[in-house]
Structure 1
Amino acid sequence: MDEDFYRARASQVRDIAETADPFTKQRLLKLADQYEVWAGNPSRASRSLARPIPLPSTPTRGKT
């Protein structure tokens, strides 16, 4: 299975989730997120996180 398949499946599952009851909708949206991960996309949770502040470069030992 390739990335396009997983993206298409995620879209189909999200469409189905729109008509589901709240409990089932939540589970279907989690499933759609998993399909996105399998497609090579970051999950929604990781997309919502802010980028970490880059660490300052450390000076090399022995050089001033």
Structure 2
Amino acid sequence: MSEVYEYVPHRLLRKRVRDIASGVEGELMAVINENVSSSPVDERWVELAYIRLSSGREITTVVDNVEPV
């Protein structure tokens, strides 16, 4: 099995964004291509956005759900 994640550059890093799925807003901290499979035979990769809320808590969402505020 290869690495379980890799960082991906994104134009909105360190900018204020909204997760259109949940409506929450925060700062985009990272976009990571993560292997979310539980089997080394069948790898499944997903690009996840990590958004830091004003409370300091971070949430994840699919990167396609991120829009600038």
TM-score by length of 2: 0.23
- Structure with higher Rg: it is 1
| Greater share of residues in strand | 2
